[in-house]
Structure formats: structure tokens, C-alpha cells
Amino acid sequence: MKYLLILFAIGLSACASKPNFPQAGIGQTYEILGATISSPNEPNWYLMQHDQMGIFFGKEMTSKTDSLIANAWVFGVGGHEDDDSFFDYVIAERERNDDKTRFVDRGVKNNRATLNGSACIKYVTIAEDHASKSKSSQPFQYFSTMGYICRHPGNKSVVIQLEVSYRSDLQNVPDGITLMSDQFFNSLEFINNKVK
């Protein structure tokens, strides 16, 4: 009986440590407004939120202080017919909306790119996060993001942003996360479901 109680207690603690989200599936396709995107192609990813405006996946990490999120969301940006004007506007808005009381930028790269036939900004950032809510004992954590901000080929006022973010005590992003990010980004397919 004592051993049954111990096994029961271990089982309850294991349940409590698992995320309260459904499993995302490995490489499972999801639809959002204007696109389909596949969940990351590895186990232990969870579907945190999904509606027509976006999708968020979270990875169960071995470290209790690290976090890894992959997401795609849709938003509108009107008044910019040409790509140069659009890209200048988006880059300026991203910089203007940075929370400089929380984040100390350590590097931002924005490059013009094409992803699956769409004009995009490809970005990579790293910052010190001085208000992380993780259990880290460090004075700050590194917050790295990589992603694309793409105009929808069917409607230039519709924008799809893909991003993978990694928060850790370590400054460098592991190669495995970079490879997973590339797979996630390349799974994007633009569709014309109500974006006209």
C-alpha cells in the first residue's frame, strides 16, 4: 500500500509539471487567416493558442529557466503600396515599440528577403531581459528572436509575422533551435482564405 501511495504521488507530481496545453503534433498543419503553418518538427511542442489571427506553440524545456516559443500571427498595415515604404515603416514601428525599460538591445539585424514568394523582412535580435518572470537567479536573461515579417501576396495590406523566441541565461542560441526555426518558417504557405 505504501508503494502505491508513493507511485500515486509521483504520478500527480508528473502531471503537475506538464504544460496544461494540448500537444501540437509533429509537423501538423494549422490554418490562420491567409496562410497555413506547420508546428515544429520535434516532440514536446504544445498548442498554446490558435485562432484565425494567429497561432502560438510552446516547447517543454528541460531547463526550468529557459523558454522557447514559435508563433505566427496576422495583422494589417495599410497605406504602403511599395515594399520600401512598408519595410521602413515596419522597422521604425518595431524600434519605437521596444520596451527600453525592460530590454537592453544587444543586436538587431533586419534584411530584405523572400519567403515562399513573398517580400519580407528577415530579422534576428538579441536583448537583455531585465524583467523576465522565469526562475532564473541571474540579474537578466538573454531574449533572442528570429523571424520574418511578410506581405501577403494576395493583399499587400495583410502582413504575416513568423517568430521563434528563446529566453535563456546563455547568450548563444543552440544550433538545434536555429534549424527548427528554419523548418518552421519554411512551412508557411500563403492561401487566399478571406484576405482579398
Q: Per residue in 124-163, pLDDT tens?
A: 999 999 988 888 889 999 999 999 999 999 898 999 999 9
pLDDT value of position 100? 82
Residue type, 91: I
Mean pLDDT of 56-77: 94
Task: Tell me the three cell numbers of residue 24.
Answer: 501540437
Q: What is the largest CA-CA distance in the chain?
A: 73
pLDDT value of position 3? 32
pLDDT digits (tens, 9 = 90+) for 87-114: 999 999 888 887 888 998 899 999 999 9
pLDDT value of position 99? 83
Residues 47 and 60: beta-carbon distance below 8 Å = no
Average per-residue pLDDT for the chain: 87
Radius of gyration of the chain from its Cα atoms, rounded to whole angstroms = 19
Task: Provide the 10 A C-beta neighbour count for residue 42.
Answer: 14
Q: The whole model's pTM is what?
A: 0.86
Q: How confident is the model at residue 196 (pLDDT cuts 50, 70, 90)?
A: low
Q: In whole angstroms, what is the distance from residue 88 CA to residue 76 CA?
A: 15
- Residue 161 belongs to what H/E stretch? strand 155-168
Q: In whole angstroms, what is the distance from residue 138 CA to residue 41 CA?
A: 31
pLDDT value of position 193? 61
Which residue's entry shows cell 500500500? Answer: 1
Q: How confident is the model at residue 13 (pLDDT cuts 50, 70, 90)?
A: very low
Which residues, including other chains, have CB under 8 Å from residue 60's CB and lie 6 or more apart? Answer: 18, 19, 44, 45, 46
